[in-house]
Structure 1
Amino acid sequence: MAEPFSVRIQVRGYETDSQGHLNQAVYLQYAEHARWSCLRHAGIEQRDLLDRGVGPVALEANIRYLRELRAGDEVDVDCVFEWGEGKTFRVVTTVRKVDGTVSAEVTGVGGLMDLGARKLVANPGNVFRELAADPGVFGL
């Protein structure tokens, strides 16, 4: 398994709810931002996937909220890709304050859809491995 990829984000005021906490849906946006940043870090752009005729799809997401976040807090959003034998993969994302306090854990199941056939690609890890300049970022 690869070391977690991490991106730092500052919580913005407009992302908070009426109690001043980071809105629940924004955690998914942070996880998505970390995944796309990880892809770019490995050398894969969105255009590369589209040119290959595939697109990432989210099949499942689970969020565990552990500690509140407020406007101005800085967080490191880590993500790790976990590969199996089938058509899907897991992405484990941890949202952590810079002091190390874990604020949330987001676990997602995804796949790569063949955009022509509208079906999941049999082994998405192979596609990431072929497209990436550094597949080690994904633990491949």
Structure 2
Amino acid sequence: MGGVSKSFRCTLEVRDYELDSQGIVNNAVYLNYLEHARHLFLRETGQEFNDWHKKGIDPVVRRLEIEYRQSLQGGDQFEIETWVEQKGYVRFLFHQRIVRGDEEVLTAVITVVFVRNGRPVQPPQEMVEALREFSKQE
């Protein structure tokens, strides 16, 4: 994670209804975990998706890359680490990592673009400034 000023961390716990027939977390559930962590992360920086929407700007997931390494099971507590990297004027890469104790469960890179009326736009400057503390330094 070299070059990152600071990362955001949150702790969650696997709920029984998130398990599949094998007794492990269903792969699609990890998307919910990652999204929830991104929302908590943005809230920590003083940003809210609803505030951006009111200004006519919406963040949209353009690309999602996940590498699964381990499975979570019912009752597992785990931590999600999040940091961000700005790419160009309209794209942000949200780097996320789920760990259980010392074990890395998955890594993910989520590409988010900001749109207004379906067209890419630069995000509000106050949002860019708020994320700078958690950004990869070029």
Q: Considering the TM-score relative to the shorter chain, is it more than 0.5?
A: yes
**Partner residue, 2:119:** 119
Amino acid at match of 2:55: R
Alignment of 1:1-140 (within 5 A): 1-97=4-100, 99-114=101-116, 117-121=117-121, 123-124=122-123, 126=125, 128-129=127-128, 132=130, 135-138=132-135
Identical residues among aligned pairs (%): 28
Whether contact under 8 Å (1:63, 1:106) holds in the other structure is yes
State how far apart, in whole Å, the 2-side matches of 1:47 and 1:32 are: 15
Amino acid at match of 1:2: S
Q: How far 1:127 sits from its partner (Å)? A: 5.2
Unaligned runs of 5+ in 2: none
State how far apart, in whole Å, the 2-side matches of 1:12 and 1:23 are: 11
State how far apart, in whole Å, the 2-side matches of 1:48 and 1:138 are: 21
Q: How many pairs align?
A: 134
Q: Deviations over 1:78-100 (max 9, x none)?
A: 11111122421211110100x22
Q: How far 1:50 sits from its partner (Å)? A: 1.4
Q: Deviations over 1:50-91 (max 9, x none)?
A: 122111100011111101110000010111111122421211
- Tell me: CA distance 1:125–1:94, structure 2 relative to 1, closer, same or farther (3 Å): farther
Amino acid at match of 2:27: Q
Whether contact under 8 Å (2:7, 2:81) holds in the other structure is yes
Unaligned runs of 5+ in 1: none
Amino acid at match of 2:120: L
Root-mean-square deviation (Å): 1.9
Instruction: Kindly report structure 1 stretches of 4+ aligned residues shifted beyond 6 Å.
Output: none
TM-score by length of 1: 0.86
TM-score by length of 2: 0.87
Whether contact under 8 Å (1:28, 1:106) holds in the other structure is no
